[in-house]
């Protein structure tokens, strides 16, 4: 299925109404076939201060009458058939254009297809989520809205948003430390105007490539991964949970092996639940360490790989620690 298949869905081309952007509480649309899920999402959204404007089944998303999306759309699609994927793809394009936040829940078996449809809006994807996962996703969305659009939060809700913000900050900080930049060189480059700056940047890029160490032997990286996994046999795996590093190792080995990695495979390599892994993948893509690459033979699929900058950082890391200490 391609983007052209999106004609199966309504051409919803307009965004939020004036009332929805004039300081009122953010609005939420809910599309789910399971009535229990619709009721639960409505309750949690109301408790979080969102105004529920639309509640319907997936058929309403696919063939229903055109309506504004509002600020947030939550979609539950445990079965991703052709029409649903077409509607998701169209919804993703429109949300990317209007700034609507998408939260899409699915199951592991449908993850590849759903992930392949959502590449424009920065959607949060939840895999087999429980109620807490959905509340956290809503909390993450709320943290992105101006305070003027939210009702006064209770103390418990304030603490939840603070914890979510702190977690995102920790992720960003840890990612930033993976590939430190030369601040002095950056400042010197910034002082060079126009085309001269681009020339200096190109020369530095060529020099960096000339001095770039090779990626480590993928057999070594696989041994490190196996040794890290062995710890879970003797200790609680949560003691060592480090999904960002586990994914970096897996993608480093894959790049050296000239092998592509699907999002499902990368979630497994992370050692954490898929929903958590997808949050990390989103952060790593946003930070420019991971790159999302479409499958040229199947438009429904997408792969994850290291960015060139991140691959350089991993190569330098392994070169610095040396092969004798790489297993520590």
- Quote the pLDDT of residue 173: 52
**Residues spanned by the domain of 29:** 3-152
Q: Which residues are within 8 A (CB) of 23 and not within 5 positions of it... i.e. 6 or more apart? A: 148, 149
In a domain, 161, yes or no: no
Same domain, 140 and 223: no
Mean pLDDT score across all residues of the chain:
77
At 110-164, the pLDDT tens digits run: 999 999 999 899 999 999 999 888 988 888 888 777 654 444 555 565 555 555 5
Report the number of distinct structural domains present in the chain: 2
In a domain, 182, yes or no: no
Residue 285: in which H helix or E strand, if any?
helix 274-286
Q: What CATH number has the domain bearing residue 97?
A: 3.40.50.2300
Q: Which residues are within 8 A (CB) of 225 and not within 5 positions of it... i.e. 6 or more apart? A: 246, 249, 250, 253, 269
Under 8 Å between Cβ of 161 and 139 = yes
How many CB atoms neighbour CB 263 within 10 A? 22
Q: What CATH number has the domain bearing residue 257?
A: 1.10.10.10
Question: Sign of dihedral through CA atoms 132, 135, 137, 140?
Answer: negative
Instruction: Report, as an integer, the average pLDDT of 298-310.
Output: 88
Chosen domain end from 104, 126, 152 = 152
Q: Does position 284 have pLDDT exceeding 90, yes or no?
A: yes
């Amino acid at each position: 299925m391609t983007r052209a298949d999106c004609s199966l869905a309504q051409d919803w081309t307009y965004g939020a109404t004036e009332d929805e952007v004039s300081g009122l509480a953010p609005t939420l649309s809910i599309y789910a076939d399971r009535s229990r899920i619709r009721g639960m999402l409505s309750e949690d959204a109301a408790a979080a201060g969102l105004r529920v404007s639309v509640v319907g089944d997936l058929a309403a998303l696919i063939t229903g009458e055109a309506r504004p999306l509002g600020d947030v759309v939550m979609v539950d699609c445990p079965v991703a058939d052709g029409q649903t994927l077409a509607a998701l793809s169209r919804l993703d394009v429109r949300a990317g254009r209007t700034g609507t936040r998408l939260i899409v829940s699915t199951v592991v078996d449908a993850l590849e297809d759903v992930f392949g449809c959502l590449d424009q809006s920065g959607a949060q994807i939840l895999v087999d989520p429980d109620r807490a996962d959905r509340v956290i996703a809503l909390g993450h969305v709320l943290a992105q809205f101006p305070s003027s659009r939210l009702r006064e939060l209770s103390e418990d809700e304030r603490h939840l948003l603070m914890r979510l913000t702190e977690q995102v900050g920790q992720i960003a900080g840890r990612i930033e430390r993976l590939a430190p930049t030369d601040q002095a060189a950056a400042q010197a480059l910034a002082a060079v105007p126009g085309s001269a700056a681009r020339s200096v940047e190109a020369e530095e890029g060529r020099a960096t490539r000339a001095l770039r160490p090779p990626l480590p032997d993928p057999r070594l990286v696989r041994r490190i991964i196996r040794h890290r996994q062995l710890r879970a046999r003797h200790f609680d795996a949560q003691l060592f949970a480090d999904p960002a590093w586990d994914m970096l190792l897996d993608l480093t080995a894959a790049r050296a092996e000239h092998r592509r990695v699907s999002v499902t495979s990368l979630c497994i390599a992370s050692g954490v639940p898929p929903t958590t892994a997808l949050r990390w993948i989103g952060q790593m893509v946003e930070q420019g360490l991971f790159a999302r690459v479409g499958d040229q033979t199947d438009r429904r699929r997408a792969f994850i790989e290291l960015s060139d900058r991140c691959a350089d950082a991993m190569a330098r890391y392994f070169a610095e620690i040396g092969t004798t200490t790489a297993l520590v």
